[in-house]
Structure 1
């Protein structure tokens, strides 16, 4: 597997797509039930292939991801060849995971207690693998509004 298998909940949400995936391999509902019962390893392999297809599609379309902790934010813009990062660190007792902490940051981005760093680097390995790794470590896919807001402020 290139990524990881989708969760049970993700499979349930994508059941129609999974059914089409199986149909594209000439596997109908009756045959799928038989495979699951008689050849669980084959069923597992089919689920793994489908998971990789879904993850690859999602990650290829992902342009921005972000990771929040209580006192820091990491914002990423994922281009084809390189990844851009804006790292924000708050140097006083504020919780960015709470609404009021986040609102404070957005209203006071240039406060003396806010350190902002910006960097760009090429991917060390394949783009989608690195983006997936950041997602698995707790980053969330975003629309990029916060990245672009801070990018304009510091450019």
Structure 2
């Protein structure tokens, strides 16, 4: 790929591109690229094809990250939710972390049993954490940075709300 064509975030995978085929067709049309032109690019201008895929990837990911409400981060020692409150321009964090020497690896914990861990774990080994912080001016960049360190987009507001209620009651 030429040095001048770098994605802002990442290039969509082949599977993602297949799933977004119709959106890609609309994207090409919005760029005034006809079917004939696209076929010509594919045959004769691979750099142009790569450029369009990078631009489409940037468009899709930017839009997705901007709409994101919830990010989860699961590590060996914790399960953290980050809720983006765009109205308040803040991120509400809630999660469960190790607070001691429990032999728990959260990466091996099923989400359905996450809350049960608090009851099952020995006293003082787990804690519920809660915090708030201002959202960065560039939310898209902030979400991208979280994903690059291993977090993932989530829609499980039910589990987030249960953890937040639990944290508030402690």
TM category, shorter: 0.7 to 0.9
Aligned equivalents of 1:43, 1:100: Cα separation in 2: 41
1:38–1:102 CA distance, 2 compared to 1 (3 A)? same
Segments of structure 1 that go 5 or more residues without pairing to the other structure are: none
2:82 corresponds to which of 76, 90, 107:
76
The alignment yields a C-alpha RMSD, in angstroms, of 2.2
Counterpart contact for 1:95–1:102, Cα < 8 Å: no
Q: What pairs up with 1:1-155 in 2 under 5 angstroms?
A: 1-80=7-86, 81-90=89-98, 91=100, 92-99=102-109, 103=113, 105-109=114-118, 111-143=123-155, 144-155=157-168
Aligned equivalents of 1:117, 1:16: Cα separation in 2: 42
Q: Deviations over 1:14-62 (max 9, x none)?
A: 1111011112223223311211332222222211111111112211221
Counterpart contact for 1:78–1:131, Cα < 8 Å: no
Aligned equivalents of 2:42, 2:8: Cα separation in 1: 22
**TM-score, length-normalised on structure 2?**
0.79
Partner of 2:150, secondary structure, is coil
